[in-house]
Amino acid sequence: MEERKGRRIIMFPVPFPGHFNPMIQLAGIFHHRGFSVSILHTSHNFPDPSRHPHFTFRAISHKKEGEGEDPPSRSETSGLDLVSFIRVLKQKYAEPFRETLAAEVGGGETVCCLVSDAIWGRSTEDAAKEVGLRRVVLRTGGAASFRAFAAFPLLRDKGYFSILDSRLDDPVIELPPLKVKDLPVIETNDPDELYRIITDMVEGVKSSSGVIWNTFEDLERDQLIDMSSNFHVPFFPIGPFHKHNNDLPPKTKKKDNETINWLDKQEPKSVVYASFGSLADVEEKEFLEIAWGLRNSKQSFLWVVRPGLVRGTEWLDSLPCGFMENVGDKGKIVKWANQLDVLAHPAVGVFWTHCGWNSTVESICEGVPMICTPCFTDQLVNARYIADVWRVGKVLERSMMNKGEIEKVVKSAMIVEGDGMRDRCLAFKEMADKSLGKNGSSSNYLDKLVRHALTLCP
């Protein structure tokens, strides 16, 4: 493509759907603005290039001659918690990434910059420097949660991470409106490693040539302003990514007609859509509480039960015999749904979510209020903001997730019309739409980002 000559960008996503998908969306945004995009990816996710014919994909192999399997093998990763898994990923791919990047850049065509996921940290900065490239970071999470990550050294010095369970409701004075229980941590055997991953991410952002955020100013203005005074790199809040009009041909992926047909038969705003993202898992006991809570609420529900969601089981194994027959047409359980289509459907009244950042933004962009059951890291911060700052959702804490409480919260969110949550959420939806319009904040930031990327071209 002649007109894209000299406007090439190399991207390096982290292989989790909640990170990979926004990177692909960003690739579409850059492509629409005249760049060609190469995506370097790990062996943990093999994207289907036929779904993205505009991008070039390069798999990075970490196999050295004489070494075993290509990706960190199951035996290396199974049983590892998320923190250890990220550590393995970062270690395994640092060197092969460096080599692949050097080969890509040495290929002749001018590359403007590298866009890498913030989670990869400083090693991608070093690799980029070696080949004379500047690096821009994509932060797939929100600004509010990043502010909390950036405060990790302070929080550690002040002893917040070792506060006793009895004080979980105490405020974090340095980070209002967060409480101790909202700090973005995760259960892990290796808390020091979590600390290292987070601080490496934050330092990697500080040394970058800019940060791209999947958020918009009207949603997180204060958090962005607050941080930009400490991070002396340009910020580009150009979200919501998935709402940009990229003029790319419709994806070849089949529409999920079965789910949409079922939603078509439901009354407007009558369905609770429940889904906990791509990584979180639950105990069998929790799974059963969710099932009974949804059923007892007597609301229609669409529930995504990912294989692997329920620890130690294949899929719905622990559901009591005849449960779904008893629920009848009032409920539907699926393994995966096209969430964007579901949230945009008029039948959906409330989204019961784990508050992953993509889910949060997607819900806000459709004006769908949320029931928030955060599980770990940024989700805990997102939930606090959803409930107390943007006031577009209610929290149903994981520790309170019993069938009685679920029934109560679901009913109140659906029946009492959630005390204005929907109206506030619709107002944010309008702001999101406006941010992408002519002279909207995200459109303006995108113009700045394009100019910035062009100045980075060597």
List the one residue out of 294, 300, 291 whose CA is nearest residue 271: 300
C-alpha distance from residue 188 to each of 22, 140, 342, 346, 398 (Å): 26, 22, 33, 40, 17
The least CB distance from residue 309 to ligand UDX, in Å, is: 10
Measured from the CB atom, the residue of 56 and 338 that comes closer to ligand UDX is 338
Amino acid at 32: H
Given a contact cutoff of 8 angstroms between Cβ atoms, the answer to whether 309 and 341 are in contact is: no
CA–chain centroid gap for 117, Å, is: 12
DSSP secondary structure of 413-425? HHTSGGGGHHHHH
Measured from the CB atom, the residue of 83 and 105 that comes closer to ligand UDX is 83
List the one residue out of 175, 222, 218, 266 whose CA is nearest residue 424: 218
* Residue 31: CB atoms within 10 Å: 21
How far, in Å, CA of 19 to CA of 379, rounded? 14
Beta-carbon contacts of residue 141 (< 8 Å; ≥ 6 apart): 357, 378, 382
The least CB distance from residue 304 to ligand UDX, in Å, is: 4
Measured from the CB atom, the residue of 101 and 280 that comes closer to ligand UDX is 280
The least CB distance from residue 65 to ligand UDX, in Å, is: 34
Could you give the angle at the alpha carbon of 229 between the alpha carbons of 227 and 235, nearest 5°?
A: 60
The least CB distance from residue 360 to ligand UDX, in Å, is: 7
Measured from the CB atom, the residue of 111 and 381 that comes closer to ligand UDX is 381
| Tokens matching residue 368 | 């769908």
Rounded CA Rg of the chain = 22
Measured from the CB atom, the residue of 88 and 340 that comes closer to ligand UDX is 340
Given a contact cutoff of 8 angstroms between Cβ atoms, the answer to whether 26 and 128 are in contact is: no
Measured from the CB atom, the residue of 299 and 359 that comes closer to ligand UDX is 359
How far, in Å, CA of 62 to CA of 60, rounded? 6
The least CB distance from residue 38 to ligand UDX, in Å, is: 23
Measured from the CB atom, the residue of 95 and 397 that comes closer to ligand UDX is 397
Binding site for ligand UDX (CB under 6 A): 16-19, 21, 140-141, 275, 277-280, 304, 336-340, 356-359, 362, 377-379
Measured from the CB atom, the residue of 19 and 31 that comes closer to ligand UDX is 19
Given a contact cutoff of 8 angstroms between Cβ atoms, the answer to whether 357 and 142 are in contact is: yes
The least CB distance from residue 377 to ligand UDX, in Å, is: 6
The least CB distance from residue 362 to ligand UDX, in Å, is: 5
Given a contact cutoff of 8 angstroms between Cβ atoms, the answer to whether 26 and 212 are in contact is: yes
The least CB distance from residue 276 to ligand UDX, in Å, is: 7
| Tokens matching residue 8 | 């090439």
The least CB distance from residue 321 to ligand UDX, in Å, is: 25
Q: Report CA torsion sign: 229, 232, 236, 240.
A: negative
Measured from the CB atom, the residue of 220 and 378 that comes closer to ligand UDX is 378
